[in-house]
Chains A and B, each alone.
Chain A
């Protein structure tokens, strides 16, 4: 079941913690309502400014914790939606209907498909598969294969 993330980028305002106006909230609210009513919204949230966040920076084998704020405002994430859609085309259509997240400014909403477990392919080796099957047989001997709704 394809899921897509729609990424909202930061702005000087979001980084400054400037909240949208009542009217802007309402506009975004109407869009969120549309997503809910259409049964496609799975999740969505806004993120606090990067000054309230931190990064773990990896350099080879070393890790360093670095506190925000971070410089590249345009590419920082400020929020996201996760929606269910049949295809990228459909997800893009939904994204097209969002109001400008920067309410008149220049920005983009990035649409990316989430990896699903099936995307990782049949990574089982023969040994693991055999182990799985014998486990299943033993477990069935213990618990039975009859759970109606427990059947999976």
Chain B
């Protein structure tokens, strides 16, 4: 292997091993920031030695052993300088007691628990959401700061600061390296799911001109989600989230026109939907539904996505079922946007009149006051009911509310077609 090839192999190994490495070290030193530093030291050692010696057969074990050995050296040196013999003794002891990981399957579970602790710690409520996302990508997904910065369209120093601050916040708050119990567990799991889905959406919203790192975020999120379901297999919503992501990801090849613009779901070439991901998504949904009753929000959204995935053509779409799912989702979340989506599904299932009633009831919703899709939907329904003048007014209003240039142009174009011919 050339040096470049080895470097690339090391990068791959890092992505595969860093979460387990950091997690295992964090269990010992009880601080994710220190654990990451130790892991980085081991990475540096690998970069120094593997070009010569080759990539070891068990890279994870090599990195863990190296990290521990170096941390003992560091502590020894520091203790000698500070003459804190007692502290040294204690720390050395705890490091040496921690078993060097071998290939034992039982120990694998141990490391698995540590990775779960890492995921949960990175999403601790003391951290702002964007910090949780950054820390998750850095510590659990193994992305570099630069990669995360470019993926989120943020300058690298800004992202670096965000991560440094996050680690300091955790340390200052003495956040324990653990998986909480009971109600705290549920709340924290929700944060973890939220962080993963935020990563996914960031990738999903990437457009054609973006760096390849952005759509790759979908892949990172999917991987994190699958890892999570492996660690908390009894949690329905974890499977629900994975189902939702697999199903949405299944459409990625069909979502962008060659011209680079987004293609609406109903307009997509379904032959370009990835059937492998659809199959996986449906399987994950089945698991979620078998585990949790009533269904949670991610599972419900996945069920809606599944309705589309199962329809070979858009005409085959089970709209009544989708409307029912949106109803369940609306009752769960109280979200007026969900209600708006339900109105669209209702209109597809039962015609525009029924849907218009629901949309009219949403017009006073404060959350939807400046939401361009409300007048857009209303305009479409009015159009289908033959009320062209009102439809045009609504479409123009929608155009004025949207900040998306292309969307505005489309809405205005549609409104223009409704201007009655003179004479």
List the interface of chain A (C-beta within 8 A of B). 1, 3, 30, 36-40, 42-43, 82, 84-87, 89-90, 92-94, 96, 116-118, 122-124, 129, 132, 135-137, 139-152
- B265–A39 touching, CB < 8 Å: no
- B373–A148 touching, CB < 8 Å: yes
Q: How far is the CA of A152 from the CA of B8 in the complex (A)?
A: 35
- A89–B340 touching, CB < 8 Å: no
| Residue B276 interfacial (CB < 8 Å) | yes
| Residue B365 interfacial (CB < 8 Å) | no
- B407–A152 touching, CB < 8 Å: no
- B341–A150 touching, CB < 8 Å: yes
Complex A-B: 11 CB contacts under 8 Å: A30-B105, A39-B230, A43-B276, A84-B223, A87-B12, A89-B5, A90-B12, A118-B253, A145-B407, A149-B305, A151-B262
- A151–B414 touching, CB < 8 Å: no
By a CB distance below 8 angstroms, the chain B residues around A94 are 16
| Residue B259 interfacial (CB < 8 Å) | yes
- B264–A147 touching, CB < 8 Å: yes
| Residue B65 interfacial (CB < 8 Å) | no
| Residue B47 interfacial (CB < 8 Å) | no
Apart from the given pairs A39-B225, A93-B12, A150-B308, 8 other A-B contacts in the complex at a CB distance below 8 Å: A37-B108, A40-B223, A86-B219, A124-B258, A142-B384, A143-B266, A144-B376, A152-B264
Q: Known: A38-B227, A149-B301, A149-B341. Is A86-B15 also a contact (CB below 8 A)?
A: yes
| Residue B11 interfacial (CB < 8 Å) | yes
Q: How far is the CA of A107 from the CA of B236 in the complex (A)?
A: 42
Q: Is the interface of B mostly helix, strand, loop or mixed?
A: helix
Tell me the nearest residue of chain A to B335, going by C-beta: A148
How many residues from B make CB contacts under 8 Å with A? 69
Tell me the nearest residue of chain A to B347, going by C-beta: A144
Q: How far is the CA of A136 from the CA of B267 in the complex (A)?
A: 7
| Residue B165 interfacial (CB < 8 Å) | no
- A39–B252 touching, CB < 8 Å: no
Q: Which of B12, B252, B304 contacts A149 (CB 8 A)?
A: B304
Q: How far is the CA of A42 from the CA of B226 in the complex (A)?
A: 11
Name the residue in A3, A94, A118, A148 with the highest tally of chain B Cβ atoms < 10 Å from its Cβ: A148
- A39–B226 touching, CB < 8 Å: yes
Q: Known: A136-B267, A140-B414, A152-B264. Is A117-B253 also a contact (CB below 8 A)?
A: yes
By a CB distance below 8 angstroms, the chain A residues around B12 are 85-87, 89-90, 92-93
Q: How far is the CA of A40 from the CA of B308 in the complex (A)?
A: 25
Q: How far is the CA of A142 from the CA of B5 in the complex (A)?
A: 54
By a CB distance below 8 angstroms, the chain B residues around A148 are 337-338, 340-341, 373
By a CB distance below 8 angstroms, the chain A residues around B407 are 145
| Residue B153 interfacial (CB < 8 Å) | no
| Residue B2 interfacial (CB < 8 Å) | no
By a CB distance below 8 angstroms, the chain A residues around B11 are 89
Q: Mark B221-233, 1 if CB is under 8 A from A, else 0.
A: 0111111001000
Q: How far is the CA of A116 from the CA of B256 in the complex (A)?
A: 14
| Residue B417 interfacial (CB < 8 Å) | yes
- A147–B341 touching, CB < 8 Å: yes
- B223–A38 touching, CB < 8 Å: yes
Q: Known: A39-B225, A42-B280. Is A147-B344 also a contact (CB below 8 A)?
A: yes
- A136–B263 touching, CB < 8 Å: yes
- B253–A93 touching, CB < 8 Å: no
- B376–A145 touching, CB < 8 Å: yes
Q: How far is the CA of A123 from the CA of B259 in the complex (A)?
A: 11
Q: Which of A30, A42, A146, A151 contacts B340 (CB 8 A)?
A: A146
Q: How far is the CA of A152 from the CA of B108 in the complex (A)?
A: 39
User: How close is A30's CB to chain B, nearest CB, in angstroms?
Assistant: 6
- B9–A92 touching, CB < 8 Å: yes
| Residue B380 interfacial (CB < 8 Å) | yes
| Residue B117 interfacial (CB < 8 Å) | no
Q: How far is the CA of A87 from the CA of B219 in the complex (A)?
A: 12
- B276–A152 touching, CB < 8 Å: no
- A82–B276 touching, CB < 8 Å: yes
- A129–B259 touching, CB < 8 Å: yes
Tell me the nearest residue of chain A to B229, going by C-beta: A39
